[in-house]
Structure 1
C-alpha cells in the first residue's frame, strides 16, 4: 500500500480536520456558484431571461429542456467536483495537482482487473438495488417514505428523459456529462481528498473508506439507491486503497456509469434484449458466479500491486 500511503503524506496547511471542513465548505459554495453560472450560457444560447431559462429545467415538453439539463449538470459538476477541489489542492495543500492524476503506464493488468471487478460488482449489486427499491418502512416513518418515493419518481422521470437518446450524438453527450465528469470529479473529491483526510483523522483505512462511501451515497440524495451506491463508493475506495492509483478508481467509476448508458442506448435501439434498468431479480446462480469471479479478480488485483511494490522496493 506504499503508493496509497503517499497520498496520506499530503498535508493540508491547516491540518486534516480543518482542511476537511474547509474542503466541504469550498465544494458546497462551488456547487451554488456554478449552478448559477451554468444558467448564463443558456440565457445567451436561447435568448431568454433568467426565469424563462429556469422554467426549461422542468418543462420537458420543450425541446430545449434536454440541452438545459445537460448543460447545468455538466457545468455544475465540472465546477464543484473538479475545478473547486483542484483550486483547493493548489491553494491549501503541500503537493502538486498532478499527484492525483499520476498513473503507471508500464502495466495494463491493473486497468483490466479494475474494469472486470467493477463489472462483476454491478451484477452482484443488482440484489441490493432490488432490495433497496422494495424496502418498506414502519408506519411512524410514513412521511419520510412518501418523500423518498416522490423523490425517486421525479428522478426516474428525469433519467428516462435524459436517456431517451435521439441518436449517437446524444449518447456521447451523456457519456461526457454522466460518466466522464463524475468519474473524474467525484473520485477526486470523495476518494482522493475526503477519504485520505478521513484516514489521517481516524487512522483506519477501512473506516475512512466506508465513511467516505457514506458521504458519497448521501450526497446523491436518493434513498432508494442509497445502499447499492454506498457499496459502489466502497468499491472505488478499495480500488484506490489497494492500488494507490486514483486514476484506476476514476476509470472504474467511468465504466460503471458509461456501461449503463451504452446498454440503455443499445436496448432502446433494439440492438440487445437486456434492459439494464430492469430491477427484477438477477438469478442467484448468476450472482454467485460473478461474486466468485469478482473475488478471484480482486485477489489477483491485490496480489499484483503487492508484488509490484515489492519489486519497486
Structure 2
C-alpha cells in the first residue's frame, strides 16, 4: 500500500492522526455491533450498559459485552495503527522490526520475566490502590473511586470462567487481542513517534507508558500499569522486534485469566483479584530475579544484528539504547 501521508509528517501530526484513526475505529466497531450484536445476542447497542448492570435481565449480556469488547479492541487498537503505518508509506515489517529474530528462548524469557516480576509489582499495586489524596483533590478521588468500582464490576462480569470454552474466549478477548493491539498502538506508533520527536528512547518509552496507563482510566492502578508499560517499552527498544512486547503483554493478561479460571473452578485457593501484597520474602526474591533477567535479556538483545536503520526516528545515543555495536544490514525483516 502506497502511503498518502508523507513520511516527513511531524510526530505531533502523526499522533493527532493516530487519535483520528482510533476514533474512526471506534465508529466502525460501533457500527459492526449495531449490525450484528442484537441479531447474535439479543442485546442492542443502547442496552449494553443495562446488560452490565443487570446481567440477569439479559441472559446473553456477558457474551454480548465480550463480543463488543473484542471488536472495539480490534478496530481501535489493531486496525487503526496498522492502517496509519501503511498510510505513511512504511512497510509494516520493516517499520515495526529493525533487528534479526531472537532465539525463541529469549522471547519465552521475556514472558517469564512478567511472571517473575508480579510479586514485586504487587507491592506497587497495594500502595497505589490504598493511597489517599489531599483534601483539595477529594472530588477527583471520589470520581476515581467510582471508576474503580465500575471497572471492578466489569471485571466480575468478564472474569467468569467455569468452562474451557469460556476460558478460551476470555484468553482471546482479554489477552490475545489487547496484547497485539495495545503493543502496536503504544509501542509501535506512540513510542516510536515520541522517540522521533524527542530524540531520546527513554522519553519515548515513559511517555508511551504513561499514555498506556492513562487510557485505562484507573487512577488507583495507574502506577503499576505504567511500570508494566515501561517494561514492555524497554523490551521492544532492546529487542527491536514488536513480537517480544506482544508476548510479554499476552503472558501478563493471559496468566491472570488462567489463575482466575483455576481459582473459580476450585483448583487453587489464591485469590488473584486481591490487592494485598505478596509475602515480603517473595517480593525480595522477585526483585533479585527480575533484575537478573532484565540484565541478561538486555545483553542478549543487544547482540542481535541490525537489519536496517530505524525508520521514522533518529539513532539512539543513550547507553541503554546504543546498538551501534551490532552489524548494520539492509535485509528485509
TM-score by length of 1: 0.90
Contact persistence 2:43–2:64 (CA under 8 A)? no
Matches within 5 A, 1:1-313: 12-46=7-41, 50-52=45-47, 55-61=50-56, 62-92=58-88, 94-99=89-94, 100=96, 107-309=103-305, 312=327
Q: Deviations over 1:194-221 (max 9, x none)?
A: 1010000011111110011000000110
Contact persistence 1:38–1:76 (CA under 8 A)? no
Cα distance, 1:264 vs. partner?
0.8
Measured in 2, the distance between the counterparts of 1:254 and 1:65 equals 26
Higher mean C-alpha deviation, range 144-153 or range 96-105? 96-105
Contact persistence 1:43–1:53 (CA under 8 A)? no
TM-score by length of 2: 0.85
Contact persistence 1:42–1:53 (CA under 8 A)? no
Structure 2 CA distance for partners of 1:63 and 1:295, relative to 1, 3 Å: same
Cα distance, 1:157 vs. partner?
1.4
Cα distance, 1:59 vs. partner?
2.6
Cα distance, 1:140 vs. partner?
1.6
Q: Which has the higher helix share?
A: 1
Q: Deviations over 1:93-140 (max 9, x none)?
A: x32123337885561221122012111222211111111110111222
Stretches of 4+ aligned residues off by more than 4 angstroms: 47-50, 101-106, 310-313
Q: Who is 2:3 aligned against?
A: none
Q: Who is 1:3 aligned against?
A: none
Contact persistence 1:130–1:279 (CA under 8 A)? yes
Measured in 2, the distance between the counterparts of 1:197 and 1:108 equals 28
CA RMSD in angstroms comes to 2.0
Structure 2 CA distance for partners of 1:206 and 1:43, relative to 1, 3 Å: same
Q: Deviations over 1:169-224 (max 9, x none)?
A: 11100100010001000000000111010000011111110011000000110111
Contact persistence 1:57–1:68 (CA under 8 A)? no
Contact persistence 1:113–1:298 (CA under 8 A)? no
SS of the aligned residue for 1:308 comes to coil
Contact persistence 1:202–1:208 (CA under 8 A)? yes
Structure 2 CA distance for partners of 1:174 and 1:182, relative to 1, 3 Å: same
Cα distance, 1:89 vs. partner?
1.4
Structure 2 CA distance for partners of 1:42 and 1:101, relative to 1, 3 Å: farther
What is the number of equivalent residue pairs in this alignment?
A: 302
Q: Deviations over 1:31-69 (max 9, x none)?
A: 243234323211222456554466434431222110111
SS of the aligned residue for 2:117 comes to helix
Measured in 1, the distance between the counterparts of 2:229 and 2:200 equals 17
